[in-house]
């Protein structure tokens, strides 16, 4: 079963996994979504993930950021994944989680522009269609 509060769609071209939270983001929702991605899409190399965090409210405790990063680094497909976090110019609600993930060696970048994020995601190992 997929995540309860995050919409996951495959966006063409490039098989970008677009994540759109539909309510507050919690540790439990992040963990559920991450496990779902690993199970369903971990075979893609690299996984191309676009997290649309615009307008999202994040309810994650500081220690949970490290736990999420640890979880991600051990899940299938995340070691080679490219993760683009799309956020408003006023700030990235996922910044602490992004930093913890980068410290674990994951490739996470922040973007204001969806076009720039998609271009970066598609830049490596170009995928037809």
Q: What pLDDT, in 10s, does the model give residues 15-51?
A: 999 999 988 889 899 999 999 999 999 999 899 999 9
User: Domain 6-122's class?
Assistant: alpha beta
Mean pLDDT computed over 46-60: 90
Catalogue the E-assigned strands of the chain: 6-11, 16-21, 25-26, 48-52, 58-59, 82-86, 107-111
Closest Cα to residue 72, out of 107, 23, 43, 45? 107
**Res 125: pLDDT:** 60
Greater confidence (13 vs 8) lies with: 8
Phi, psi of 74 (to 5 degrees): -100, -5
Q: How far apart are CA 33 and CA 18, in angstroms?
A: 12
Does residue 127 have a pLDDT over 50? no
Q: What is the mean pLDDT of the chain?
A: 86
Does residue 88 have a pLDDT over 90? no
Q: What confidence tier does 120 reach under pLDDT thresholds 50, 70, 90?
A: very high
Greater confidence (42 vs 65) lies with: 42
């Amino acid at each position: 079963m997929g995540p309860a509060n995050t919409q996951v769609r495959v966006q063409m071209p490039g098989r970008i996994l677009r994540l759109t939270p539909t309510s507050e983001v919690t540790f439990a929702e992040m963990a559920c979504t991450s496990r779902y991605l690993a199970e369903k899409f971990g075979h893609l190399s690299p996984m191309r993930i676009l997290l649309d965090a615009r307008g999202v409210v994040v309810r994650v405790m500081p220690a949970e950021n490290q736990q999420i990063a640890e979880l991600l680094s051990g899940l299938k497909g995340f070691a080679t994944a490219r993760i683009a976090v799309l956020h408003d110019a006023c700030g990235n609600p996922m910044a602490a989680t992004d930093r913890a993930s980068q410290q674990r060696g994951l490739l996470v970048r922040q973007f204001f522009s969806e076009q720039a994020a998609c271009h970066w995601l598609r830049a490596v190992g170009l995928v037809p269609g």
